[in-house]
Amino acid sequence: MKTPALDRRNFLSLTGKGLGLAALSSSSVAALLKNIQAATKSVAHLTPEQVAMDEDFWFEIQQAFTVTRGIINLNNGGVSPSPRIVTEALVRYIWQQEDATAYTMWQILEPQSETIRTGLAELFGCDREEIAITRNASESLETLLLGMDLKSGDEVLTTTQDYGRMLTTIRQREQREGIKLNLIKIPIPPKNIQEITGAFERAITPRTRLIQIAHQINLTGQITPVKAVCQMARRHGVETIVDGAHSFAQFYFKQEDLDCDYFGTSLHKWLYAPKGTGLLYIRREKIAKVWPLFAAEEKQKTDIRKFEEIGTHSAAPKLAIGEAILFHNGIGGKRKEARLRYLSRYWMDKLKDIPKVRFNTSFDPAQMCAIANVQIEGLDQGRIGGYLFSKHHIFTTPIVHEEFQGLRITPNLYTTLPELDRFCEVMAMIAQKGLPAA
């Protein structure tokens, strides 16, 4: 039987069945979306780029979040606040599963996760039987890195800027099984995105079996040419794992735009789903060859659900992904991307001509979106981050890497232009006068 699409009407109908007194009614969910629907209707005739500059529209979206304005939060790369509709859904499902738990959780709530699976598959543009719902990108990617058959001497190729947990995972296999980790450096930032593809291809050897590539590098926000790398690797008989932890639902793409066989992401970043939710995509014909982290029965060998066999766990975060999808689709993925690009370019343009300010992220739209890395030359970036927060309540992410250092700056949909103005004013002052004595 075909599972219905996760649009607003079907989702409200499905989640409204069997709910008790603790449940938020379909009409209440609709009420939380009403302002967003009205706002999007008012800009339906505009392009995403025109909407990106419409502060009245984004004021309505900002009200969907319950964030404090006592802190200017420019650290949204690791985890993002959820809008109220998601948080209330999470609480609702938690209360519901506390009533006759064994029955409610496994007979009522868990089966509804199939609707969530369908919604995620539609968002990513793939078959629902290729999507596993996980707890985060780390779980998704470690499932792949630890679950693929590699033998001593086989090489895994990635960059020196790859996410630390993924490097640790590969190094564990180095120690236990004798596989080899091959690291390449890529420019910071590249002059053009093709430099990254070329660096990977030059590093392939006859022993290369797997490429691990971040779709968007967490340190700098650098977007990589995943499709070109995947297709190049395939010509060499090499498989590719794509780390989409920071890209998914930040900027618009589908599976066909990546042409990847494997993809993992977190949903608590740019989809704004509950913390501890993630997605694992495996091309259908490759599911059988990947071992799950938690052992599954032989009959599940070709079933994507074998990667969800983690023992007893709350159904609530998984189901509240549905409201996050509603919120995302309500705004529109292309409008969301355009706004995030606009916010980043807004503050970057204000700082780019200031002496001593240097960017570790390209201004090329093909190479960046919401995440960027900036440094003030001659100063300790950690001290700058500490000063920004202690004196001005501006929360940033200091990055110290052996190849570069800087502040990772990540605004979000709820970020206002005056907040970015304030950040730029303080950064300009630091660049001109330095940090005050401790």
pLDDT at 130: 98
Count CB-CB contacts under 10 A for residue 299: 8
| In a domain? residue 153 | yes
Computed on alpha carbons and rounded to an integer, the radius of gyration of the chain in Å comes to: 22
Of 223, 266, 249, whose CA–CA distance to 124 is shortest? 249
The confidence band for 13, taking pLDDT boundaries of 50, 70 and 90, is very low
| Together in a domain, 281 and 338 | no
| Together in a domain, 160 and 304 | yes
| In a domain? residue 300 | yes
| Together in a domain, 282 and 404 | no
Alpha-helix residue ranges (DSSP H) falling in 178-308: 194-203, 226-235, 255-258
| Together in a domain, 203 and 230 | yes
| In a domain? residue 267 | yes
- Checking if the pLDDT of 172 tops 60, the result is yes
The amino acid sitting at 303 is: D
- Checking if the pLDDT of 23 tops 80, the result is no
- Minimum mean pLDDT range among 94-108, 148-162, 218-232: 94-108
Strands of 88-146 (E only): list them. Answer: 131-134
| Together in a domain, 239 and 317 | yes
Which tokens belong to 206? Answer: 């006859």
pLDDT at 10: 53
| In a domain? residue 311 | yes
Q: Which of 308, 325, 342 is the last residue of a domain?
A: 325
- Checking if the pLDDT of 58 tops 70, the result is yes
The confidence band for 201, taking pLDDT boundaries of 50, 70 and 90, is very high
| Together in a domain, 319 and 352 | no
**Percentage with pLDDT > 70 across the chain:** 93
| Together in a domain, 297 and 424 | no
Q: Which of 325, 359, 384 is the last residue of a domain?
A: 325
| In a domain? residue 91 | no
Locate tokens 């990635």: which residue?
158
pLDDT at 37: 84
pLDDT at 28: 59
Q: How many domains are there within the chain?
A: 2
| Together in a domain, 190 and 253 | yes
- Checking if the pLDDT of 275 tops 80, the result is yes
Write the CATH number for 233: 3.40.640.10
3-state helix, strand, coil in the chain (%, to 5): 45, 15, 40
Q: Which of 325, 344, 376 is the last residue of a domain?
A: 325
| In a domain? residue 357 | yes
| Inter-residue contact 277 to 310 (CB < 8 Å) | no
Give the C-alpha separation, 104 to 282, whole Å.
Answer: 30
Of 291, 274, 294, whose CA–CA distance to 116 is shortest? 274
- Minimum mean pLDDT range among 12-26, 36-50, 176-190, 383-397: 12-26
| Together in a domain, 313 and 199 | yes
Mean pLDDT value across the chain: 92
pLDDT at 29: 65
- Minimum mean pLDDT range among 7-16, 122-131, 268-277: 7-16
The confidence band for 325, taking pLDDT boundaries of 50, 70 and 90, is very high
| In a domain? residue 61 | no
| In a domain? residue 99 | no
| Together in a domain, 157 and 277 | yes
List Cβ neighbours of 26 (8 Å cut-off, separation of 6 or more): 12, 13, 15, 16
Give the C-alpha separation, 76 to 370, whole Å.
Answer: 9
pLDDT at 33: 78
| Together in a domain, 129 and 266 | yes
Compute the average pLDDT of residues 411-415: 98
User: Over the stretch 342-353, which tens digit does the pLDDT of each residue have?
Assistant: 999 999 999 999
Give the C-alpha separation, 329 to 336, whole Å.
Answer: 10
| Together in a domain, 317 and 359 | no
- Checking if the pLDDT of 27 tops 70, the result is no
Q: Which domain holds residue 259?
A: 113-325
pLDDT at 12: 45
